[in-house]
Chain A
Amino acid sequence: MSETTKQPTSRLATLFERLKGENRAALIPYITAGDPAPRATVELMHAMVEGGADAIEIGVPFSDPMADGPVIQAAHERALKSGLGLRGVIELVAEFRQRDAETPVVLMGYQNPIEAMGVAAFVDKAASAGVDGVLTVDLPPEEADELSAAMGERGMAPIFLLAPTTSAGRTREVASKGSGFVYYVSLKGVTGAANLDTDALAAQVEGIREACALPVGVGFGIRDAETAGQVGRVADAVIVGSAIVRLIHEQTTAAGGMNAQVLETVRGFLAELRSAVETARQ
């Protein structure tokens, strides 16, 4: 990367550097943009940061979220009913950035909406809006060269998944092609699956570290403060998706929409998770 195009030190790198000093994992919640409505997304992002989120993953609604389980699938369907697309999601991130210049934001979605917009246009708009990284679920490293190169030029991190079925050779490939962090999917299956085996997880994370110098985020199967703490002991980032999406859906359904009480509940849940992550290594 040339000096002229290089961005200021990335928010993700700054975050993981700082947390190394604090000896704790990052807490990264996930919400699907546009669920329950586009105007709720920015409020929810700020509430999660106030509750203790260190970075935020924003799901880009897609008609065919093949790697997601029922909870997040349903969130995608609700979001699509509002007509929110990738352009709209990027605009929401830009709106979030007006009040928060620090918290890293990672988009998580599928490749087809990016192709429909065009890779160059997507990277340009996302970088300008203040997106820090992009995890394209159905774009493994061997298919990602064009997008990764374009993102690299604008200082955005291509973030890749690792799975229990990923070979050491593939882990090294992900390590060389990714940046920001790697996202270890700690269970076989789709998002929202249950039963986390934390002893096995510790060994798996150690295995990844042998082949990959990037921070290791762990997601799938983290549903409460207890599991967040268990994962926070061994991982560099604790990623919580379905549990938050479910909470937001239950709360907004009961309240008939987004309101201050729902935001307070989300803030409270994040604070519990954050507390568990902070004490995990003590």
Chain B
Amino acid sequence: MPETNSKATVGATGAPVDYASFPDQRGRFGDYGGRYVAETLMGPIEELTAAYEKYRHDPGFIEEFESDLRDYVGRPTALYHAKRLSELYGAEIWLKREDLNHTGAHKINNALGQALLAKRMGKTRIIAETGAGQHGVATATVAARLGIECVVYMGADDIQRQAPNVFRMRLLGAKVVPVDSGTRTLKDALNEAMRDWVTNVDDTFYIIGTVAGPHPYPMMVRDFQSVIGREARAQMLEKTGELPDQVVACVGGGSNAIGIFHAFLADESVELHGSEAGGDGIETGRHAAPLTAGRPGVLHGNRTYLMEDENGQIIGTHSISAGLDYPGVGPEHSWLKDIGRVQYAAITDDEAMAAFHDMMRCEGIIPAIESAHAVAHARQLAEARGGQRILVNLSGRGDKDINTVAKLEGIEL
């Protein structure tokens, strides 16, 4: 993959940080990341690592990935100056339009990259986990295009609240398997996908949808998503002649955020802000904001910030947005928080929904409720400081969410 802009800069600790040198050989971002998996998965993970190391700098692989991003996904996506929203919020707001990608979100960038790798590894079956269904749809889409069997694990509760995406996956030929264990949401779907992988390692490739999991997933998914920030940085310079003051992105597992942040990490003048799901409010305990209110632990193959109880049990999360409803976060975010390069804040359900409506009425854009968290966060930053140039990653479109919005407003569709 093309290297991210990575000139040495100075982190909060005062030591120079070369962001592109992370993770290290063991998959570590500082204290975070690693490979916390059962021995049964070490073989397949080593096989995947070797394949990714072989192809990530392979000109033929890069060329196929980039031409598919252009001709199939529709990249580069637009950078759009949201003028009426800017006026409303009192800042200069620019939107990176990942909602314009094929399948309606940034998820396709990564699903495509991993599927091309699966094809080169000779795998004949693809599995994935999904929360909101966007990663499941993206995976089902690339599997259909490559003619590969596809199985998507999805929490039984998420299947209820994301019915249109479930139907979409089935139309694309994927098998959607409901997961009834645990909290019946994304984390349990991930557990079940891991169990499938360990049972079917010979022919199966597991496409993880976010920058979490055992090494090399956090690195590989970041690499595939970092096209977002490379494009956005060049587009900002082209359209405004300057870098943004602030970049804002929502963080569930954190793939769209890492994707847009990475190109800006070495730009010391650019503040980076991640928007976690504050749910009903941090003080209620009903949220999904591990960076804001959790602590480091080990889950799903990596060390990272988690939501857990005093016994180390992972606790149930709440967010109006299924895509952010996850008790962990990518390990690189945990590191970026600790070194102070990115600030993370929790945005409540209500704040996100207000921003959802603002975006629709001012700009005629239906944002995914996930992305609406970043829009709401931009509003808070604008109110706190005013007049800034803020780049918001509009990570997906919200057509999938209209049932949720209608239900909130007591409307029967």
Contacts and interface: CB of A to CB of B under 8 A. Distances in A.
A189 B297 contact: no
B142 to A, nearest CB: 25
B303 to A, nearest CB: 8
A170 B42 contact: yes
B83 interface: no
B281 interface: no
Given A111-B298, A163-B40, A165-B44, A85 B311 contact: yes
B293 to A, nearest CB: 15
A224 interface: no
A116 B312 contact: yes
8 contacts: A61-B313, A66-B195, A67-B195, A112-B299, A112-B313, A143-B34, A163-B42, A166-B42
A115 B312 contact: yes
Interface string A180-198: 0000010011100100000
A153 interface: no
Interface string B15-53: 000000000001000000011111110111010000000
A257 B152 CA distance: 37
A170 B195 CA distance: 22
B199 interface: yes
Q: Interface majority SS on A: helix, strand, loop or mixed? A: loop
A201 to B, nearest CB: 16
Interface in A66-123: 66-67, 69, 73, 77, 80, 85-87, 110-117
Contacts, number: 119
A114 B312 contact: yes
Contact of A80 (B198, B200, B313): B313
Contacts of B91: none
A63 B300 CA distance: 12
Contacts of A165: 40, 42-44, 201
A253 interface: no
A7 to B, nearest CB: 26
6 nearest A-B pairs in the assembled complex, by CB-CB distance? A165-B43, A116-B312, A85-B311, A113-B312, A161-B39, A189-B199
A142 interface: yes
Contact of A138 (B188, B195, B301, B313): B301
A63 B182 contact: yes
Contacts of B187: 64
A234 B36 CA distance: 30
Interface string B235-261: 000000000000000000000000000
A66 B38 contact: yes
Nearest to B42: A140
Given A77-B181, A80-B313, A112 B298 contact: yes
B191 interface: yes
A86 B312 contact: yes
Given A138-B37, A165-B201, A185-B39, 9 more contacts: A64-B187, A80-B313, A85-B312, A113-B312, A116-B297, A140-B37, A166-B39, A188-B199, A189-B40
Contact of B201 (A66, A67, A137, A188): A188
A259 interface: no
Interface residues of B, number: 37
Interface of A: 61-67, 69, 73, 77, 80, 85-87, 110-117, 137-140, 142-143, 160-163, 165-167, 170, 174, 185, 188-190, 193
A131 B109 CA distance: 48
A117 B39 contact: no
A7 B299 CA distance: 33
With most chain A CB atoms within 10 A of its CB, the pick from B296, B306, B313 is B313
B263 interface: no
B156 interface: no
A143 B198 CA distance: 20
B199 A193 contact: yes
Contacts of A189: 40, 195, 198-199
Nearest to B194: A66
B39 A116 contact: no
With most chain A CB atoms within 10 A of its CB, the pick from B46, B181, B187, B312 is B312
A117 to B, nearest CB: 7
A111 B36 contact: yes
A64 B191 contact: yes
A113 B114 CA distance: 32
A256 to B, nearest CB: 25
A80 to B, nearest CB: 7
With most chain A CB atoms within 10 A of its CB, the pick from B42, B182, B310, B314 is B42
Contacts of A139: 36
A37 to B, nearest CB: 17
B239 to A, nearest CB: 45
A190 B191 CA distance: 11
Given A64-B299, A190-B195, A112 B39 contact: no
